[in-house]
Structure 1
Amino acid sequence: MEAAKKFHHPYEPYDIQLQFMRTLYDCIEQGKVGIFESPTGEDLPLQPRLSGKSLSLACGSLTWLRDHKRKEFDESIAAIEGELQDDDEPEWMVQHSREEKKNQVVQARAELEVKLEKIRQHERKIRDRQENGPPLTKKRKLDDSGNDVDAVDDEQFALDEYESDDEGIKSKATGGDAALGLSKETQALMQKLGYGLSALPKAEDVEAEDELKIYFCSRTHSQLCQFVNELRRIDLPAAIPAVQEEVKKKASLHEELKHLSLGSRKNLCINSRVSSLKTVTAVNEKCLELQDAKTPKEKKCQFMPNKENEGTVLDFQHHALAKIRDIEDLGALGKKLGVCPYYATRPAVKPSEIVTLPYPLLLQKTAREALGLSLKNHIVIIDEAHNLMDAISGIHTVEVSLQQLQLARAQLTTYLQRFRNRLKGKNRVYVTQVVRLLDSITTFLQALDHKEGGEGVVQATELLKGKGVDQINLYKLMHYLQGSKLARKVEGYVSLEQQKQQGLNNTGAGKEVTVPVLTHITNLFMVLTNPAREGRLFYTAAEDKTQTKVKYMLLDPSEHFREIVEEARAVILVGGTMSPMSDYLTQLFPYLDSTLITTLSCGHVIPTSNLFVSPITCSPQNTDLNFTFASRNSTSTITALGESILRLLPHIPHGCVVFFPSYAYLEKVVSHWQATPSPSTQSLWSRLQGIKPLFKESQNTGTEELLSAYTSSVSDTADGGALLFAVIGGRLSEGINFSDRLGRCVMVIGLPYANPNTAEQKAKLAYVEEKAAAAAAAAASASAAASASASATSASASSTASTFSGGRMVTGAAAREYSDNACMRAVNQAIGRAVRHKGDWSAILLFDTRYAQKRIQEKLPGWIEASLGDGSRARGFGEVEAGLKAFYAGKKAEN
């Protein structure tokens, strides 16, 4: 257990896990970017089914964190001793001064724990004041369904006077902060408690230091909860040994790991009127609406920080840090104390050592600013990072339909009919400009040829050709829309009018709060204000004209991620399947020198004998299995695929999962297999069903119900098992474990390349080539500048011609490399669903002639490629079948 003790691992880790932790530790120490591939499900010897990757991540990074604090302490003591040695003082005085200075440093570090006690004392004083006043429980209710809280006057939706472009909105009543939608009083209290970037300095006795910390980010809250569970297993020593002695003097203190979970309003809101809404955006908008400066006090959210519950908010912060809690724990704590967990977690960020949060809260700059998160010199770890580039692009992608534009125009018209006489000065000017913008974009989309599938690239100037649009200052208009809250006011008024028309009694019954469509369209306005070079605008026509759309797509995620990389001390990307890795270097970190990037691809804990991997290039009848766009729809190919699976299925025990490249192709194949060749012949589908029960994923299928039925079928039968048809990139291809009997075989049909003929894919590939050409030209220029040849002129001409020629080759290779990488990342994710622990075993069958190509096989994870053997040789179907039978026979004998 010596190796485990070094990283404070609760169990004896495998060698590959030790390698992972050592490399992670060194990467953080050196302040690098790390790209780590570690197959999920690396079970630990004495604790099967635990995630080795999560524990390795936690132990490696937190060990560095505590070691770094200890090192800083030692260096500060050494500096003090050095200063004392320089003074010409008696030894006894030097010794006394050394101890005194050391104790001061120890005490300063011990304040990380002692300040929590000071905060508790501060809380008690506030609670004492509360106890002398009206009982808090009489003022706060979690069950507010009976309150007449949604009865509103349409006057609250009138726009405040807009004095100037510089001053923004001036609220006559409260002087509220228009950007955040909070009243002046709420802002003042939140500043006092330490919320957000605008927080005021607090008194020294209660202010928490911005502790060096780890930000751990993953895709979903469920994945974050799993990681939090792993944190509970780790027992770390005190960061400063001397602090432990100080702590022993106070029985109530102990240097536990200080962890905090951050989440969205949707995950943390305890107001039933808000949390019950269906979308994240709707929840956000309703929350801000209930805090609006013009909303009557008795109708605002009763869980927001205020003078009455200040002590409860501080109590929440203490409880949040007192033990390791996941997002559900914080929600329950908020309900128990009657205070909003979403806002009450903010001040607890600074004293935390590790903060867990989902993708959007880290990747969106506006979200980080709203939360007051500074990444400066901290460590950022992003788990499940295989889809990081897609996530960044998705966050910055905007799509608006003609129907939404028309709805926004109609809502504005309804609003203007009510408040036209109230609109003066700048309000009138800017609202008119919004109408002109909507009309201009609408006119462009209406003028398109609405043949189904028509698409293309559009320039921002083409969308802004409407009457008077060239006179609009888009920057000032965006400032106005943010400050005036026009979208929220328009939607609020329209919703109120709809309620009245439906004859509702103003109790809120039957009300469906929708997302302000104008808010969504404002995101498109923002893009048009400053169209980035790394993005493109597209249109997509539809026979139903209302579904014709304009879309902005981010082509290059590197610039939006660059600020995180430059601020953080170290950035670590981790995934169970990160291969192929070259895209991260060229697409996400093109500006970094290779010496600043560390990559590690761990092997799997299983022996190679537990895996049978083979490409299948032909059917039993020697029909080539070629699933390119041009040939995969042929009836002969689809029939050959069915016959191949039918031949192999009897040899496969228990569960088998078959991944198709798309939902559309899966439906086409199944439809063909279900067709009966003749009245006397069984369909391929029926014949497959005669061997194993069949289950099929669809876009409308409930994942849990499908998995439950498949699992039951595999469990209820002996060796027969079941056959599950799924889709690469679908809900079953990520985050689902088909371990043991659920996945004794994984089949992959074809390669899921993106359609190269779409406008978006063409633009993306062209941009990749453009970047590659620029990089090649820059490299050639640097090389030419470094040359000191006497024949500089002739050499330069030769070099230019070569570079141009080479540039064409490089950029063509770059586009193909990008397409291959994107395709194989998706394949590798699907393959990775099986073989989840050391004792697991499975077969992986890759149906397509291209899987026999070396350039494709090299993009498989190393632990899978190692089991290919001579897989690069195109083996006949009979040879593959014999090898598969022998593999299963051997496993049956072992068990």
Structure 2
Amino acid sequence: MEQKNFHHPFQPYDIQQQFMQAVYDCIENGKVGIFESPTGTGKSLSLICGSLTWLREHKRRKFDEAMQSIEIDDDEPEWMAEYARESKRKEVLSMRAEFEQRLEKVRAKERTIREKHTSGEPLRKRQRQHALKDEQKNEPEDQFVLDDYHSDDEAVPGKDGRSQYSAETTKLLENLGMILPKQDQRSSEETEEELKVFFCSRTHSQLSQFVGELQRVKLPAGLPPEEQGPDTASAELTEEVKQITLGSRKNLCINSKVNKLASQTAINERCMELQQSKTPADKKCSYLPTKEDESLVLDFKDHALASIRDIEDLADVGRKLGVCPYYASRPAVPPAEMVTLPYPLLLQKSAREALGICLKGQVVIVDEAHNLMDAVEGICSAQISLEQLRLARESLITYLQKFRNRLKGSNRMYLTQVVRVIDSLIQFAANLEHEKAPGGTVEPGSLLSGKGVDQINLTKLVRYISESKLARKVEGYISHLRATENKSGKDEVAAQLPETPTLTLIQNFLMTLMNPSKEGQFFWSNENGATILRYMLLDPSEHFRDIVESARAVILAGGTMSPMDDYTEQLFPYLPSVTTLSCGHIIPASNLLVRTVSSDDEGSLEFNYKTRQSVSTMQRLGNAILAILPHIQGGTVIFFSSYTYLEQVRKQWNEDGTSARISSVKPTFFDSRAVSVEETFGSYSDSVSANPRGALLFSVIGGKLSEGINFSDDLGRCVMVVGLPFPNLETPEWKAKMQYLDSRAPARGVPSGSASREHAENVCMRAVNQAVGRVIRHKGDWASIILFDSRYARPKVQTKLPGWIKESLPKSNEGKGTQVAEVVEDMSRFFNDSRN
């Protein structure tokens, strides 16, 4: 059977062809898919080629179907029907060709001026820069006074987030697609929405790498050429991919007076302030387009889509054109074929609505998805400490004392209510400050049992905190006060303030109290002397469900997605089936050695919570490592289950001389919570490069060096894992999570108790898989993986390893594991063969 051409820029390996076909089929069939492709196997290119090949082919099929479905009266001759179809076809293709010609002119112009104008003046004159430069040199205290607030009038200007702009500006921004039209009635001038792929990853640096891969790909056009003839009929015409990157104001703001602010919240609120209708014209942000230069947004759209750009490129386009890239990027979303964006902009419904993103019928790809469940839970969770509550109260009282006589009725009423709510939370948390227990669960009503708090409408209060910009006003005044008292610069004082105002943290916490989800639970804990109140989401499936039900297809992809059952149970329990694929590696089998160490001469080796504490177990581990280490040529990384256990072992080894013996074999380095990851990894890397014997790095599963670090080539010729890093199941959070999972289990036909145990095992093994996946990074790489613990030999545990690691386990020892002496022989043979 002939393989499908996915237009991969290189000759794809079999596993890449398999991966691209699986992506294509998943989208075609409108499924949810979980795909695992190890690092170094070209996962990003495979995702791009599989999804965009489907997109272009689907577009061509729909075009052909539309042309054939044009209705003609039955009594009309066939030549008239054919004429009507051809006229319609030419009309559609002409519109498309005009758009493509515009983009090509932009590309040609950019090619011409790239060398001459790498940095130049904006394309329009900045008529108001002098006002912006002089703005707030000596800011008066008046700016911190709260504006009049109309508490009960839902139709008050500004309540819909639109009439903060003037009527003219609102209409302009609607027409340009920069804000949604009222009641979501789209302007007739708005560009038709293209079917597209939304590609999401955790960070902008990861998205930039993806954009670099996207630039390699050349795809055939989605629609046929406008004029067809003998020369074009067989030619495979290419068409540039139209892509746009979305980001936050922090990434895209080009106003130097705004983007230098310390936090995301400060940037957002300052941006909105500079756009309000009450702000004097000479004080508004000069990058927001006016009626006279609305064509700049259209120019920006063409420039953004003409080339594949990352977030920094997009900001540069905005600077050169002199238009805000944060707002001007929105009109480029409808005609784009690929939209790249970070996790929060996809996962938060409010963020999608603010950007005008509609996922209905679209394709969603989430990369680096091993963190997806944590990301969903993190977005929907909130916490506040007793210290932060007291600081917020102190700041509010200081603010009230200063401005009490200048605040009108609603403001004074709501500020009093905020103080009362904070007092109630402080009272509850203070009563727990000296509790001997480390933590426990909380009923929502207990948090708001203070005097008169039950009479407060939390919904209105939270809306007031948000719409009045109370957090930024209070924080700004306290910053101003400190700068005045200390006679230091405002920037210096701002740098010392928390990135998120404490009142914003309180607002987020109160939002969970407004409508506590049945899928979540409130907790308290005493951690390192601090009392913390926390709301934790226990079930992420409902919060991801609206994405799944809106999109045509959803693909979760990552280098390490095993065990995949956890995603189907935690994110998609309502789906009858989910497509899964775990790819092998592109390296030959001889380039990888995997062994589970189950025993030594003294018997079984198991690092459970009880046995790992014994001096004997720690000494036996040291002896096993000393036996294996001399045979490893290059860098070795050993992962422990926690920083606490690593310190216990290190202390014991220092006492019995094991540390000194290990250091004599290889220079030794330790991951530490007190030392930066850059410093530790840099010292280790330098030692590996300078020392023929390599070096040894001790680290921790789930620590700073267990994820996102590249241990390629000699930096990671061997990775060892000591024990299984199960989470602490005795914490209130884990007890609540397990109780919740077990309560749902019978409805799904699962025995009570097994669901929670299965999830704990999955969390443990996902962390192990993420750590060991650091060592094979490209097709020429080779390494060994040693798993210390007899439990790794159990078939159930081994089923949770990625396929490419499982395949390298020796079949002869299945279910039994390997003795230390056998591993030493295998390692010696492996390194001799690999070096030769």
> Counterpart in 2 of 1:139?
127
Alignment of 1:602 onto 2:590: no
Structure 2 CA distance for aligned equivalents of residues 670 and 306 of structure 1? 65
Q: Deviation at 1:492?
A: 2.3
Alignment of 1:696 onto 2:670: yes
Q: Which runs of 5+ in 1 are unaligned?
A: 43-51, 121-133, 678-682, 777-806
Give the stretch that moved more between structures: 582-591 or 658-667.
658-667
Change (3 A) 1:118 1:489: farther
Amino acid at match of 1:736: I
SS at match of 2:557: strand
> Counterpart in 2 of 1:410?
394
Identity in percent: 55
Contact 1:452/1:542 (8 A) holds in 2: no
Contact 2:254/2:324 (8 A) holds in 1: yes
Show the 5 A alignment for 1:648-659.
Answer: 648-659=628-639
Give the TM-score of the pair, scaled to structure 2.
0.91
Contact 2:124/2:321 (8 A) holds in 1: no
Give the TM-score of the pair, scaled to structure 1.
0.85
Change (3 A) 1:662 1:281: farther
Q: Deviation at 1:282?
A: 4.1
Show the 5 A alignment for 1:491-890.
Answer: 491-503=475-487, 510-512=493-495, 514=498, 515-541=500-526, 544=529, 547-594=530-577, 597-619=578-600, 621-622=601-602, 624-675=604-655, 677=656, 683-718=657-692, 720-776=693-749, 810-869=751-810, 870-890=813-833
Structure 2 CA distance for aligned equivalents of residues 97 and 336 of structure 1? 45
Contact 1:661/1:750 (8 A) holds in 2: yes
Q: Deviation at 1:425?
A: 3.5
> Counterpart in 2 of 1:312?
296
Q: Deviation at 1:651?
A: 0.4
In the TM superposition, what whole-angstrom CA distance separates every residue of 1:379-433 from its partner, at most 9, and x where no partner exists?
A: 0000011111011111111110011111111122122223323444433332222
Contact 1:385/1:578 (8 A) holds in 2: yes
SS at match of 1:456: strand
In the TM superposition, what whole-angstrom CA distance separates every residue of 1:769-802 from its partner, at most 9, and x where no partner exists?
A: 11112333xxxxxxxxxxxxxxxxxxxxxxxxxx
> Counterpart in 2 of 1:17?
16
Show the 5 A alignment for 1:40-119.
Answer: 40-42=39-41, 52-80=42-70, 83-84=71-72, 87-110=74-97, 113=100
SS at match of 2:220: coil
Change (3 A) 1:543 1:164: closer
Give the stretch that moved more between structures: 765-774 or 275-284.
275-284
Change (3 A) 1:92 1:467: closer
> Counterpart in 2 of 1:160?
147
Change (3 A) 1:286 1:726: farther
RMSD between aligned residues: 3.0
Amino acid at match of 1:220: T
Q: Deviation at 1:338?
A: 3.3
Structure 1 CA distance for aligned equivalents of residues 156 and 504 of structure 2? 18
Q: Deviation at 1:860?
A: 0.5
Contact 1:262/1:327 (8 A) holds in 2: yes
Change (3 A) 1:668 1:290: farther
> Counterpart in 2 of 1:803?
none
Show the 5 A alignment for 1:352-391.
Answer: 352-391=336-375
Q: Deviation at 1:831?
A: 1.0
Structure 2 CA distance for aligned equivalents of residues 94 and 197 of structure 1? 39
Give the stretch that moved more between structures: 466-475 or 635-644.
635-644
Contact 2:598/2:606 (8 A) holds in 1: yes
Alignment of 1:195 onto 2:178: yes
Contact 1:179/1:482 (8 A) holds in 2: no
Structure 2 CA distance for aligned equivalents of residues 403 and 180 of structure 1? 38
Structure 2 CA distance for aligned equivalents of residues 474 and 549 of structure 1? 21
Structure 2 CA distance for aligned equivalents of residues 182 and 203 of structure 1? 18
Q: Match for 1:284 among 258, 268, 272?
A: 268
In the TM superposition, what whole-angstrom CA distance separates every residue of 1:197-233 from its partner, at most 9, and x where no partner exists?
A: 34787875x6322111100001111111111111111
SS at match of 1:149: coil
In the TM superposition, what whole-angstrom CA distance separates every residue of 1:608-649 from its partner, at most 9, and x where no partner exists?
A: 222211111234x52643222223222222222222111110
Amino acid at match of 2:818: R
Contact 1:623/1:640 (8 A) holds in 2: no
Show the 5 A alignment for 1:313-328.
Answer: 313-328=297-312
SS at match of 2:599: coil
Contact 2:266/2:472 (8 A) holds in 1: no
Change (3 A) 1:494 1:708: closer
Structure 2 CA distance for aligned equivalents of residues 71 and 739 of structure 1? 44
Structure 1 CA distance for aligned equivalents of residues 378 and 814 of structure 2? 37
Q: Deviation at 1:843?
A: 1.0
Alignment of 1:472 onto 2:424: no
Q: Deviation at 1:500?
A: 2.5
Q: Which runs of 5+ in 2 are unaligned?
A: 108-121
Contact 1:580/1:824 (8 A) holds in 2: yes
Q: Deviation at 1:183?
A: 6.5
Give the stretch that moved more between structures: 330-339 or 459-468.
330-339
In the TM superposition, what whole-angstrom CA distance separates every residue of 1:519-544 from its partner, at most 9, and x where no partner exists?
A: 11011111111100000100012574
Change (3 A) 1:707 1:290: farther
Structure 1 CA distance for aligned equivalents of residues 560 and 27 of structure 2? 21
SS at match of 1:367: helix
Contact 1:617/1:624 (8 A) holds in 2: yes
Contact 2:641/2:701 (8 A) holds in 1: yes
In the TM superposition, what whole-angstrom CA distance separates every residue of 1:458-485 from its partner, at most 9, and x where no partner exists?
A: 0100001100011112222223233322
Structure 1 CA distance for aligned equivalents of residues 305 and 429 of structure 2? 53
SS at match of 2:535: strand
Amino acid at match of 1:889: N
Amino acid at match of 1:426: S
Structure 2 CA distance for aligned equivalents of residues 542 and 207 of structure 1? 53
In the TM superposition, what whole-angstrom CA distance separates every residue of 1:242-283 from its partner, at most 9, and x where no partner exists?
A: 3475999xxxx9842100111122222333444344443344
Change (3 A) 1:94 1:510: closer
Structure 2 CA distance for aligned equivalents of residues 650 and 234 of structure 1? 45
In the TM superposition, what whole-angstrom CA distance separates every residue of 1:317-370 from its partner, at most 9, and x where no partner exists?
A: 221111011112112223333333222212111111001111111111111112
Structure 1 CA distance for aligned equivalents of residues 484 and 228 of structure 2? 68
Q: Deviation at 1:811?
A: 2.1
Q: Deviation at 1:577?
A: 1.1
Structure 1 CA distance for aligned equivalents of residues 569 and 484 of structure 2? 57
Structure 1 CA distance for aligned equivalents of residues 258 and 732 of structure 2? 39
